[in-house]
Amino acid sequence: MKTITCPSKEVPVIAETQVLVVGSGPAGISAAVASARCGAKTMLVERYGCFGGALSVGQVESYTWYFNKNTYTAQGISKEIEDRMIKIGGVQDDDRGCGHFLNPEKYKYMLDCWIQEEGITPLLHTLVVDVIMEGKTVKGVIVENKSGRGAILADRIVDATGDGDVAALAGAAYEKGENNNGKVLPVTMVFGVSGVDTKTFRDYIESHPEMTNPDTHGLKLPFRRAKADGKWPVERDGGAWKELTPTGEFTSLNLTLENGIDGTNVWDLTHAEIQGRQQVMWAVDVLRNYAKEMGFANCSLRSIAGQIGIRETRRIQGGYSICRRDVLGHSEFDDSIGVYTTFIDGEVVSKDDAHFQLPYRMILPNGIENLSVSGRCASCDDDAIQTVRMMVCCATTGQAAGTASALSIKDDVVLRDLDIHTLQNQLVADGVRIR
């Protein structure tokens, strides 16, 4: 590969903080809030112009779509996210269970208010491009934005990027794909349509209960018809809908799919964004022409997500990797930092209060100090990523990471030496179920 040499230069320190959280999806928000509430000076860095991650920028509204009345989760900040959205009228009930869809636009605003309320220092439009290391200890990050390049120094850092960007830059070991073969889960471009006949759609799903089954995801028949006619050249046979407003707007449709995309490769991402929008245009035509009896005859494109939806990239290797056996076997751990429901997206939907425990070790990258990971980049095997990447689970690992960061500063110990009972007692006091 052809290279050039960049001249060295001094980089200004633009901020110093105790806890730095990078990424603001449910994992990052929960980490930042938990850290601030434990008394640590906290900063939250986000690459986009709003907080919220896939739920806001990606229009993925399905925070708790698979919940039933007995679903057993960690509660804590993961539940507070939903409660705050309910309070501002930013949710809609899900036809398929007891969960809610969260309105992405109100979600952005709610997070702005929450971050200010907690005294967290926000920094938007900022990308982490390097790390500052002393041996195996992360001392800060290098960022770039419209103001140029700068350094942020921190006592503890939480990598909530989803892709494990900070951890990878620090040299942490990671895997991608099944047996580390790089073949990750497919990506999806979420979109919305308007002009749907709400009554016709509601009447249709009432007479076709299979559409509200979380195992079957509803909107498949029109895409199978279109594929048979050569009008849907996509591997996926449709998928799920989210919020349908009284005015006939489907604000989040999860119907497209692309395989072979590495979300850490910018050339792949560029292709995926362009191809994803092409698939959206095809999908709108399919709905208009093959789902008339469902109320889509006069629908038109309303919105396309601001980014392609990524399900899996790096899985940072920590002291323990959650696996399928743990999820289905209701595993328990002495260092539990929260529980999560027995659920594997696209395969196993929990029908009762079955759950398993998440160990503290899964958020501590092997061989790296001062850094924790939360969200879908936390340590898990390829057969458990469909569970660990769920937003409520991400919020749970995020709260633990933020809490541990603040407590370890107070106790003047590295993260892996933090007394687990101190962490667990604080989590329980903050409303988290760890058993």
- Answer yes or no: are the C-beta atoms of 340 and 358 closer than 8 Å: yes
More confident residue, 241 or 34: 34
Domain count, the chain: 2
186 in any annotated domain: no
Share of the chain above pLDDT 90, in %: 88
The residue to which tokens 């497919």 are assigned: 186
In this structure, which amino acid lies at residue 16? E
- Answer yes or no: are the C-beta atoms of 118 and 125 closer than 8 Å: no
Output the six-digit token pair for 24. Answer: 């603001």
* 28 & 159 share domain: yes
- Distance (Å) of CA 167 to CA 10, 170, 242, 318, 326: 24, 5, 33, 11, 24
Q: Give residue-wise pLDDT tens across range 351-377.
A: 789 999 999 999 999 999 999 999 999
Q: Give residue-wise pLDDT tens across range 265-275.
A: 999 999 999 99
169 in any annotated domain: yes
The predicted structure's pLDDT at residue 113: 98
434 in any annotated domain: no
Q: What average pLDDT does the segment 135-144 reach?
A: 98
* 266 & 348 share domain: no
* 159 & 211 share domain: no
Boundary-marking domain end, from 255, 280, 304: 304
* 43 & 173 share domain: yes
Boundary-marking domain end, from 281, 304, 327: 304
Q: Give residue-wise pLDDT tens across range 333-352.
A: 999 999 999 999 888 888 78
User: What is the domain extent for residue 86?
Assistant: 13-180+313-429
* 360 & 293 share domain: no
Bridge partners (DSSP) listed for residue 432: 75
Q: Which helix (H) or strand (E) holds 66?
A: none
Q: What average pLDDT does the segment 185-209 reach?
A: 94
For 55-168, strand residue ranges (E) read 91-93, 100-102, 121-123, 127-134, 137-145, 148-159
* 366 & 286 share domain: no
1 in any annotated domain: no
Q: What average pLDDT does the segment 122-140 reach?
A: 98
Q: Assess whether pLDDT exceeds 60 at residue 214.
A: no
Question: Strand order in 240-241's β-sheet?
Answer: 240-241, 250-254, 191-194, 300-304
Q: What average pLDDT does the segment 379-385 reach?
A: 97
Q: Which helix (H) or strand (E) holds 355?
A: strand 355-359
* 330 & 296 share domain: no
* 142 & 93 share domain: yes
* 171 & 224 share domain: no
The predicted structure's pLDDT at residue 217: 57
Q: Assess whether pLDDT exceeds 70 at residue 216.
A: no
Quick one: three-class SS letters along 293-342? HHCCCCCEEEEECCCCECCCCCEECECCCECHHHHHCCCCCCCEEEEEEC
The predicted structure's pLDDT at residue 424: 98
Q: Give residue-wise pLDDT tens across range 33-77.
A: 999 999 999 999 999 999 999 999 999 999 998 888 899 999 999
From CA 131, how far away is CA 126, in angstroms rounded?
A: 14
Output the six-digit token pair for 356. Answer: 């398993």
170 in any annotated domain: yes
In this structure, which amino acid lies at residue 389? R
More confident residue, 217 or 198: 198
More confident residue, 426 or 212: 426
The predicted structure's pLDDT at residue 65: 84
More confident residue, 166 or 347: 166
Bridge partners (DSSP) listed for residue 145: 148
The predicted structure's pLDDT at residue 22: 98
Q: Catalogue the long-range contacts made by 216-222 (C-beta closer than 8 Å, 24 or more residues apart).
A: 219/253, 219/255, 219/291, 219/294, 221/291, 222/286, 222/287, 222/290, 222/291, 222/294, 222/296
68 in any annotated domain: yes
The predicted structure's pLDDT at residue 98: 79
435 in any annotated domain: no
The predicted structure's pLDDT at residue 215: 53
Task: Assign 219 a pLDDT band (cuts: 50, 70, 90).
Answer: confident
Beta strands 13-22 and 148-159, pairing class: parallel
Burial tier of 24 (Cβ tally within 10 Å: 0-12, 13-18, 19+): buried
Relative orientation angle of helices 26-37 and 76-87, to the nearest 10 degrees: 100
Q: What is the pTM of this model?
A: 0.96
* CATH code for position 99: 3.50.50.60
From CA 59, how far away is CA 56, in angstroms rounded?
A: 5
Boundary-marking domain end, from 304, 329, 345: 304
From CA 167, how far away is CA 180, in angstroms rounded?
A: 17
The predicted structure's pLDDT at residue 94: 79
* 342 & 414 share domain: yes
Q: Assess whether pLDDT exceeds 90 at residue 189.
A: yes
* 65 & 28 share domain: yes
Q: Assess whether pLDDT exceeds 90 at residue 387.
A: yes
Q: To the nearest whole number, what is the mean pLDDT of the chain?
A: 95
The predicted structure's pLDDT at residue 56: 97
4 in any annotated domain: no
* 360 & 423 share domain: yes
From CA 426, how far away is CA 417, in angstroms rounded?
A: 16
The predicted structure's pLDDT at residue 255: 95
Q: Assess whether pLDDT exceeds 60 at residue 15.
A: yes
From CA 228, how far away is CA 168, in angstroms rounded?
A: 44
Q: Assess whether pLDDT exceeds 60 at residue 399.
A: yes
